[in-house]
Amino acid sequence: MRQGDPVLWTILLCAALAGGARAADGEGEPASAAAIRDRAAQAEADPALQSRLLQLGRKVAVVCAHCHGAHGIAARPDAPILTAQKRAYLLEQLQQFADGRRRDPLMEEVMGNMSVDEMVGAVLFFSAQPLRRPAGPPPAFSADAGSAGRPPAPGTSTAAAR
């Protein structure tokens, strides 16, 4: 992490503040993959719990937006899109971070300060969001533009890309 990156510092500050509130509530234990999976199953079986966690997820999404975008569509190339992903996929990714199969220092820090309910709530929130198309027409790529229909590299012509 770069020392001067204000977005990362904002995220870490929000996560630390959330973690302090959790510790006061006695929820200081890190989430396990099993705890995430079990709570998601409970929410699936209980519509009232699911609704409550969805509202919590809407609040948590504000922190997620710093990397994953305001609507779960990342503006950063290194942050995956969360919006409209399948619930099972998002839960699996969180479980992989929780048990160490997937590694990312920032995600590990943020998740270390989130409760299981916040994690499951974020999954419920992002999986329920419709995929939004960007404004304006889609970019026009031609078959001649490069391999697999990708545009040629900046500063090259179509002929040079072949």
CATH number of residue 93's parent domain = 1.10.760.10
> Closest Cα to residue 60, out of 9, 22, 6?
22
Residue 17 within any structural domain of the chain: yes
Residue 115 within any structural domain of the chain: yes
Residue 14 within any structural domain of the chain: yes
User: What pTM did the predictor assign?
Assistant: 0.67
Spatial separation of the C-alpha atoms in residues 32 and 40, rounded to whole Å = 12
What are the residues whose beta carbons fall under 8 Å from the beta carbon of 93, sequence distance 6 or more?
A: 102
CA dihedral 98, 102, 107, 113 (to 10 degrees): 10
- Which one-letter DSSP state was computed for residue 71? T
Cβ-contact 70, 78 below 8 angstroms: no
> Closest Cα to residue 119, out of 150, 96, 147, 101?
96
Which range marks the domain in which residue 33 is found?
6-130
Query: What digits encode the pLDDT tens for the residues 85-120?
Result: 999 999 999 999 999 999 999 999 999 999 999 999
Residue 151 within any structural domain of the chain: no
pLDDT at 161 over 60: no
Residue 112 within any structural domain of the chain: yes
Query: What digits encode the pLDDT tens for the residues 51-94?
Result: 999 999 999 999 999 999 988 998 788 999 999 999 999 999 99
Q: How many folded domains does the chain comprise?
A: 1
